[in-house]
Amino acid sequence: MNKKKFIQVFEYQKLRYDDSGNFRKHHFDAMVKFNELHQNKYFTVIHNGIRFGSYVGVIQIGGLTIEILPKADNKEDADKNLWQNVLLNMLKVCKHIQVESVSETHLTKRYQSILDVYFELYLTEVERLVKKGLVKKYRKNQSNKNALKGKLLFAQNIQQNLVHKEHFFCEHMVYDRNHLLHQILLKGLLVLKTFISDSLQDRLNRVLFEFQEFENIKIQKQHFDRVIIDRKTHDYQKAFDIAKIIILNYSPSLKYGNENLLTLLFDMNTLWEEYIFRILQKHKKDEIEISFQNSDRFWENKRIRPDIILKTAHETFVIDTKWKIIGSNNPSDEDLKQMFVYNLHWKAEKSLLLYPKTNQTDSDFGNFHFDNLGKKCKLGFIDITDKTSIKNGKIVANEVLDKLIYESQID
């Protein structure tokens, strides 16, 4: 088996193809076609290459893995291992991945890419199910029988048995293990077969041996909607969730020339927003009420939606997160106007624009000059690393609250 190739880049970085290197023209062509099918939202096509945007994660094209990492520092030689850990931790906190080896301070195991985390976790879950014993379920089966069983399907019977009138094409219930849930798990395993690293190949082959009796059907989004996880199959939930991620993000080669393509991409703006909310929700004090993605009508059919609303017994605060690097006193006019509307609509005296920190310092609360309403907004900057490792979520949450609620009490 050929050694798989691996490239790590940061968001907004450029990657140009070179037919003598790892990233070649056919990889570029596959990525362009994939991007076009998704309204060109994942990256920008440049001369002989790609410029990545706000989406981070991983793209696997055949034997090439491209991992796109977040970066909130100005270092040219930024630590890729650190920022991979940051991304894994944020995915864990936001419940996009559930793996115990990802801690808030370090990884007990080094992964080549975040896809390897999903692959290994998926294999571990399916192995656990096999060891426990795969469950049987009732399912509908349509087939030709020598005797009438269940319900006769007249149209199909005429079509199938015009000559062999001694047969009956009927629909009946079967109680076995070849049901949709196992067929979905099988499809997830077969996708892994294309992309998995050599170190996991033996484990995959052993698991596939246990699934050889199951039918390999074409799984689409609607198949997942048909599966009901009940008391009998609740142990399947994690494996089912990961299989859904793997299968729905897999693009077979018929769309991209000779290359199979698997993507797992996250908008860093959305991930940053949810990460801040979840750590605040987890580590807040009882007297603070926090709500996420509040949406209300603004004008006609248009709506406004601040990221986070905090309420104490006496005050309301608004936080809007922005994953971008700006100067300490240089918010955009658009961001400030947005915060002013939030202050008015949610009757908040103070609001916070929250950015990742490089070397900036927080601004003071600035006044909106509009009919002396007393509405204020400040710029806050938060570092989610301590330069060499991931900063503990509780510390980050307390730093955010200090910038808004506790500082406000001192004013």
Specify whether 322 is located in the same domain as 361.
yes
Q: What is the DSSP string of 145-166?
A: ESS--SEE-HHHHHHH-SS-TT
Nearest to 363 by CA among 378, 384, 349: 378
Specify whether 23 is located in the same domain as 85.
yes
What single DSSP character describes residue 381? Answer: E
Q: 3-state class of 103 per DSSP?
A: coil
Q: Is residue 275 part of a domain?
A: no
d(CA 159, CA 230): 38
CB 380 within 8 A of CB 353: yes
Dihedral over alpha carbons 92, 95, 99, 102 (to 10 degrees): 10
| Residue the block writes with tokens 């849930």 | 181
Type of residue at 209: F
Q: pLDDT > 70: what percent of the chain?
A: 91
Nearest to 87 by CA among 68, 109, 59: 68
Q: Is residue 352 part of a domain?
A: yes
Mean pLDDT score of the chain, rounded to an integer? 87
Specify whether 144 is located in the same domain as 116.
no
Give me the numbers of helices (H) and strands (E) for the chain, helices first please.
Answer: 12, 19
Specify whether 104 is located in the same domain as 26.
yes
Q: Is the pLDDT of residue 151 over 80?
A: no
What integer is the mean pLDDT of 59-71?
92
Sheet holding 14-16, edge to edge: 14-16, 49-52, 43-46
What integer is the mean pLDDT of 219-233?
93
Q: Is residue 79 part of a domain?
A: yes
Q: Which residues contact 337 (CB under 8 A, 6 or more apart)?
A: none
Nearest to 278 by CA among 86, 94, 87, 70: 94
Identify the band that residue 1 occupies on the pLDDT scale cut at 50, 70 and 90: very low
| Residue the block writes with tokens 């089966």 | 141
Specify whether 34 is located in the same domain as 144.
no
Q: Is residue 12 part of a domain?
A: yes
Q: Is residue 248 part of a domain?
A: yes
Q: Is the pLDDT of residue 105 over 50?
A: no
The reported pLDDT for the residue numbered 76 is 76
Which domain range does residue 201 map to? Answer: 5-133+181-267
How many CB atoms are closer than 10 A to CB 331?
A: 20
Q: Which of 121, 149, 176 is the last residue of a domain?
A: 176
Condensed to tens digits (0 to 9), the pLDDT of residues 173-224 reads 788 899 999 999 999 999 999 888 888 999 999 999 999 999 999 999 999 9
Q: Is residue 274 part of a domain?
A: no
Dihedral over alpha carbons 347, 360, 293, 244 (to 10 degrees): 180
What single DSSP character describes residue 75? Answer: -
What integer is the mean pLDDT of 165-176?
78
Beta strands in 98-153 (DSSP E): 137-145, 151-152
Q: Which of 176, 201, 229 is the last residue of a domain?
A: 176
The reported pLDDT for the residue numbered 254 is 43
Q: Which helix (H) or strand (E) holds 175?
A: strand 168-176
Specify whether 216 is located in the same domain as 98.
yes
Condensed to tens digits (0 to 9), the pLDDT of residues 321-331 reads 999 988 877 88
Q: 3-state class of 142 per DSSP?
A: strand
Q: Is residue 206 part of a domain?
A: yes
Specify whether 97 is located in the same domain as 205.
yes
Specify whether 111 is located in the same domain as 215.
yes
Question: In terms of DSSP bridges, do strands 14-16 and 168-176 run parallel, antiparallel, or are they unpaired?
Answer: unpaired
Instruction: Say how many domains are in the chain.
Output: 3
Q: Which residues contact 209 (CB under 8 A, 6 or more apart)?
A: none
Beta strands in 233-375 (DSSP E): 250-251, 261-267, 289-292, 296-299, 302-304, 308-311, 316-321, 350-356, 366-367
Find the range with the poorest average confidence among 2-6, 34-38, 219-223, 366-370: 2-6
Specify whether 187 is located in the same domain as 97.
yes
Specify whether 213 is located in the same domain as 289.
no
Q: Is residue 330 part of a domain?
A: yes
d(CA 55, CA 346): 30
Greater confidence (34 vs 294) lies with 34
Specify whether 16 is located in the same domain as 56.
yes
Q: State the CATH number of the domain containing residue 368.
A: 3.40.1350
Q: pLDDT > 90: what percent of the chain?
A: 63
Nearest to 250 by CA among 239, 261, 266, 259: 261
Specify whether 406 is located in the same domain as 365.
yes
Q: Is the pLDDT of residue 409 over 60?
A: no
Identify the band that residue 107 occupies on the pLDDT scale cut at 50, 70 and 90: very low
Type of residue at 197: S
Q: What is the DSSP string of 20-50?
A: TSSS-HHHHHHHHHHHHHTTT-SEEEETTEE
CB 161 within 8 A of CB 143: no
